[in-house]
């Protein structure tokens, strides 16, 4: 089987249950490379916005935005490789960084802080995207947001999300 689950990953977007990329986590769960732990909320506030193609981005700027609701998974080394691939770690689309999460539902555990990791918008564009979106963030990537997400295979054939983001955050607001 998939081996020990060492890596705690907080997912807030299309990897959540009932969202477009959750099939990857379902695959990993079926091979014992991932285990669902439960609903969690970030201890600190972070910006969460959607960018082009309805792609959700958590932005590494704690103190701005809201506390974010998502799901916590324990993932094997192999599972992490698969997630990193999806999130475009090598091409600097997202970066996997530490994040503190709490269990708001459980009153006895609500003050227990767990250190996990999350996929944040890469710093090359994250903060500029936040400014471009008028510094208006969500607390949760919901079902209605998920409907607007365009899967890679449905995007224009030669589109490069990174080039398009760069053009978007660099464009003037008028």
CA dihedral 31, 141, 92, 136 (to 10 degrees): -170
Of the candidates 15, 42, 18, the residue with the CA atom closest to the CA atom of residue 103: 42
Q: Report how far residue 96's alpha carbon sits from residue 83's, in angstroms, rounded to the nearest whole number.
A: 10
3-state class (DSSP) for residue 18: coil
- Which residues belong to the active site? 87
State whether residue 110 is helix, strand or coil.
coil
Other beta carbons within 10 angstroms of residue 172's beta carbon come to 4
């Amino acid at each position: 089987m998939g081996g020990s689950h060492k890596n705690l990953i907080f997912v807030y977007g299309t990897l959540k249950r009932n969202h477009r990329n959750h099939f990857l986590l379902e695959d990993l769960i079926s091979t014992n490379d991932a285990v669902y732990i439960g609903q969690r909320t970030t201890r600190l506030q972070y910006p969460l916005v959607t960018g082009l193609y309805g792609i959700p981005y958590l932005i590494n700027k704690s103190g701005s935005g809201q506390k974010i609701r998502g799901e916590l998974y324990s993932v094997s080394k192999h599972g992490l490789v698969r997630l990193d691939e999806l999130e475009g770690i090598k091409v600097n689309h997202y970066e996997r960084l530490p994040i503190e999460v709490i269990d708001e539902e459980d009153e006895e555990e609500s003050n227990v802080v767990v250190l996990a990791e999350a996929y944040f918008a890469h710093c090359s564009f994250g903060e500029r995207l936040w400014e471009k979106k008028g510094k208006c963030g969500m607390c949760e990537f919901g079902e209605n947001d998920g409907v607007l997400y365009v899967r890679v295979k449905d995007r224009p054939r030669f589109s490069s999300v990174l080039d398009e983001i760069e053009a978007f955050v660099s464009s003037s607001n008028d």
